[in-house]
Structure 1
Amino acid sequence: MVKAIISGIAVVFLLVGCGPKPIYEDTYDFTDHFWGSGESPRFTFSGNDTSVFYNYVVTLRTTPEYEYSNLWVFMYTKNPDGKQRKDTLNFPLADPDGKWLGKKTGSIVEHEMLIGWQKKFPALGEYEIRFEQAVPDPELKHVLDLSLRVIKAENTNK
């Protein structure tokens, strides 16, 4: 199981490490390094090409003091036609021994997660992706920021 998680993370780094410039990239900073249960980072971007495949990457940055080995989130997606979708995502952050799966640099641990692979925009227009933390603790401490990147996929063989 741990090998599968590590392999999955390696694939994310290969897919997004070197490649085309993102068509969208933004970061939401958490005040006082704290993600409260009522706080919903929101990302809005334009889908200008329905013929191209895109990858969606979330980057979560925490301090090493973050208390959990994973993070459950609700992801809400809203299309230009107003259709909405809710997904539940689990981001593994540490292996069972407590070793961080992300890249640790000093007082920051950076976790990259692929949340959408080779997806096309169903319509032209504005898209919105919103996240809510979905853990029993209403006050997640030691969370620095959350970023979203939308990147044109290099390999569109599906």
Structure 2
Amino acid sequence: MLTTTLQNSCAAFALLFLVCSCDKSRVFDEYKSLNGKWNKDSIVSFSFDQKDTVSKYNMFINVRSNNAYPYNNLYLIVQMQDPGTKLVKVDTLEYQMANPDGTLMGQGFSDVKESKLWYKEKVNFPKAGKYKVSIQHAVRKGGQVPGVEELEGITDLGFRIETTE
């Protein structure tokens, strides 16, 4: 009986190690929960330490959405602040979130889909230190100037950095 328990524990540990070690390109990967609604004034921020200023990296914004998301596209304002400075790089980005028939794009088997959206490709960090990325939605209804107050259907927002090698 003890041998079976030990074998099961070893098998579970080996499986956990295998799953965790498969993602060798990941440098940073973090999610923040939005509980299905994202207020237009809510800024989601991620901070990370970067020591390597030579290698190239790809950066992604990961969005988990569900069928309550009412739009085809997602507009984001993304700011990245370099360490030790007030220098902020701002990008306004647009991503397609739904197919022409209205079904959500992305990976997943349930009504929650995860979309891995390109932010920056093959970039290097100019200096070592703590970087901060801030993301805010900028979705508007067609023909209207004010932004959507409560963007429904976004459950989680993530930020990921991967090596290019």
Q: TM above 0.5, one fold?
A: yes
Partner Cα distance (2:79, 2:72) in 1: 23
Are positions 1:113 and 2:117 aligned together? yes
Scaled by the length of structure 1, the TM-score of the pair is 0.81
**2:25–2:164 contact (8 Å) kept in structure 1:** no
Scaled by the length of structure 2, the TM-score of the pair is 0.77
Unpaired segments of 5 or more residues in structure 2?
Answer: 1-21, 140-146
Are positions 1:152 and 2:156 aligned together? no
Give the 3-state SS of the residue equivalent to 1:65 in structure 2: coil
Partner Cα distance (2:151, 2:46) in 1: 20
Partner Cα distance (2:119, 2:81) in 1: 15
Larger gyration radius, structure 1 or structure 2: 2
| Higher alpha-carbon deviation: 99-108 or 141-150 | 99-108
Specify the alignment match of 2:62 in structure 1.
59
Give the 3-state SS of the residue equivalent to 1:102 in structure 2: coil
Distance 1:19 1:104, change over 3 A: closer
Specify the alignment match of 1:102 in structure 2.
106
| Amino acid in the other structure paired with 1:142 | G
Are positions 1:128 and 2:132 aligned together? yes
- What's the % identity of the aligned pairs? 26
Name which of 116, 123, 140 aligns with 2:151. Answer: 140
Runs of 4+ in 1 over 3 A off after TM superposition: none
Q: How far apart are 1:84 and its partner, in Å?
A: 0.6
